[in-house]
Amino acid sequence: AQTVTQSQPEMSVQEAETVTLSCTYDTSESDYYLFWYKQPPSRQMILVIRQEAYKQQNATENRFSVNFQKAAKSFSLKISDSQLGDAAMYFCAYRSFLVSSGGGADGLTFGKGTHLIIQP
């Protein structure tokens, strides 16, 4: 079974600064997907960014980028120019690639989350 670990229960950053959230995972699979989801207070979870394990290039979405280190099984999220609206719980998640081939579990495996605080 896969596991996802987020070792930072809470992070705080000044508005307009850069912050990096850490995530490590454990799997025996060679192909898989990794995601960062954002859950604002009392609002639904939304996808921030995804990474396919077979792609070497790190994913980027505007101010959000990842540092994917496959050998180290590490998948960190960098948020540049932090904004007040970035304040939320951030969850790292894993999904098996085998589903695309007709097999394997389709559910996401989540970490415990990191609470990101933006200081004005």
Q: Least CB distance from residue 25 to other proteins, whole Å?
A: 12
Residue 82 or 113 having the CB closest to other proteins: 113
Name the token pair of 117. 């605080």
**Tokens standing for residue 106:** 């389709």
The pair of three-digit structure tokens given for residue 57, joined into one six-digit string: 């290039």
**Element spanning 77, H or E:** strand 74-79
Among 12, 81, 105, 119, binds other proteins (CB under 8 A): 105
In the 8-state DSSP scheme, what is residue 70?
T
Distance CA 88, CA 86 (A): 6
* Subset of residues 29 to 48 that bind other proteins, contact rule: CB under 8 A: 33, 37, 43-47
Q: Is 64 in the site for other proteins (CB under 8 A)?
A: no
- Which of residues 25, 36, 68, 91 is near other proteins by CB under 8 A? 91
CB 68 within 8 A of CB 58: yes
59: contact with other proteins by CB under 8 A: no
Q: How many CB atoms lie within 10 A of CB 95?
A: 19
Among 95, 96, 116, 118, indicate the residue that binds other proteins (CB under 8 A): 95
Q: Is 93 in the site for other proteins (CB under 8 A)?
A: yes
Beta strand 46-52 with 74-79: parallel, antiparallel or unpaired? Answer: unpaired
Residue numbers at the binding site for other proteins (CB under 8 A): 4, 6, 33, 37, 43-47, 50, 52, 91, 93, 95, 99-100, 105-113
